[in-house]
Structures are given as structure tokens and as C-alpha cells.
Amino acid sequence: MTNPLIGTSWKMNLTASEADGWFRAFVPLVADLTDRELFVLPPFTAIWVARERLRGSSIAWGAQDVHPDDSGAHTGDVSAPMLADLGCRYVEVGHSERRRDHGETPTLIGAKLRAILRWGMTPLLCVGETAEAPVEVAAPLVLADLEACLASLPAPDVGRIVVAYEPAWAIGVGAIAAPAARVGAVQRLLADSLLGRAEGRPPRILYGGSVDEAAAGRLLAEPGVDGLFVGRYALDPERFARIARAGLGPPPEPGHAVGRDNVEGRAR
């Protein structure tokens, strides 16, 4: 068995200065963890802060998006070689908000996957149904989307990605995490599909969507759940440390916090 993989995307939250305070508070709280892997995906403007504060630790950092081309006339976009140069290990693609707000398609997502892999980083591919429905209805939709996003990837590359199952209805303020049994059922179906596509070990599958401290332990105990992808609850470094330590003892005495109000109002 591999160690659980637990990470967070901050979305469009925390400035570079706020990120510096977040990392200073968070790193000591998880410095003793050896049986799980952690990562943080800050906004583009704070990736350099992650590099400075996490270098030398066991915590990886990365980005929330990437352009499929390595360079060119793409004003405002960020390429895979730029991210690799900043030491990014993970790059998120396919989130439901990117699909909703920017019209991203499985074809574009596939091109981004190839770019990330081309530069030696690990793609974090988000998939999930948009509306709550029984597993027998939702699962075929999720599997079809997964297949479409991976259609252009050679079999050896499929094993190099991480998949995050994120039902859109479980994301955002007021939402709650999907039941652990449902998550496990969908993720086992995803694992079967990926096993058929990958050569060697299939990708790890995380769950994301309103993951708080109470849900974290239940989800990690569910067979088929290889880790967690945390949103708004991770904007508080002490709270994310408690999620990262789910099932373990309490963290060391906390240091200074970020000092940012209205954390609960930020979305996943």
C-alpha cells in the first residue's frame, strides 16, 4: 500500500504575502508526518513563495492550471516549462470550475495532460458528475468523461497521473462531502477503468469536495480512496494540518496563523 496523498488547491485565494504566513504556520504542524504525502497548489503569484518555504521539506507544491503549448502568443497564460522551472511537482487540470467558467473540453484537458507529462510533472485530473444522482447514474457519466480526457494519452502515461473524483454538487460553501460509501463505490469503478488503460500500477485516486476534519478520517478509511484533495477548509493552515493528520495524533503546538478573515466564505 502507498501512503495517502493529501493536498489542497487554494483557488483564487491568498496573496503572496498571505501565503508566506500560511506556510510558516503550516510546515511545523506536519513536520513529523512520515506516513502520508502532502502537496499545496497556490495561485500562480504565490508559487515562488511555496518554493522558498517548502524547499527542503517533504511537502510538494504545484499549480492550478497550465497552457497546453510550451510557449507562444498566449497573453496571460502560463506554460508547463515555466511551472517546471519553479519546481512544481503537481499541476491540476479539468476542475469543474475551469470547465464551467472557461469552457474547457476533454480534448483541451488531454492536451494539458500531455504538456504536464512532457515536462516531468504529475497531472492531477479532476473528474466528477455535475448533479447529484444515484451511483448507477453518476458513475457512467464520470467514467465517460475520464475516458474522453485520457483518449490521447499512451498507456504508459496513464499510470503517471493522479485522478481526483470531485462531484460538483459537493463543492462550495454550504455543500457537504459525499458519503464515504458512495465515494468508495465510484472510486473503485474508476480504479477498474484505469487499470484497464494503464501499464503497470494504475493512478492513485483522491476524493475532493467539502473535505473537513470530520469527513477526512471516514474517507481515508474507505477502500479505494487513496487520498484527499481539500479546498476551502485548507485556507486555515491549522485546520488543514488536522485534516492531513486524520487518524493520527494531534499536531504540535500551533504557531502563528495567517490572519485572514472570512476563510469560510471562500469556495470549494
Rounded CA-CA distance 14/172 in Å is: 17
* Own/partner pairs, 239-243, CB within 8 angstroms, 24+ separation: 239/212, 239/213, 240/8, 240/26, 241/26, 241/29, 241/30, 242/213, 243/6, 243/211, 243/212, 243/213, 243/216
Catalytic residue, candidates 97, 104, 129, 166: 166
For 178, the grid coordinates are 459525499
Q: Please check whether residue 78 is in contact with residue 66, taking contact to mean a CB–CB distance below 8 angstroms.
A: yes
Q: At what angle do helices 213-220 and 237-244 cross, to 10 degrees?
A: 20
Rounded CA-CA distance 186/175 in Å is: 19
Tally Cβ neighbours within 10 Å of residue 73. 6
Our answer to whether residue 102 is catalytic in this structure is: no
Rounded CA-CA distance 176/168 in Å is: 11
Catalytic residue, candidates 95, 97, 104, 129: 95
Our answer to whether residue 166 is catalytic in this structure is: yes
Q: Which residue in the block uniquely carries the three cell numbers 464515504? A: 180
Q: Which residues contact 238 (CB under 8 A, 6 or more apart)?
A: 25, 26, 29, 251, 254, 257
Active-site residues: which are they?
95, 166
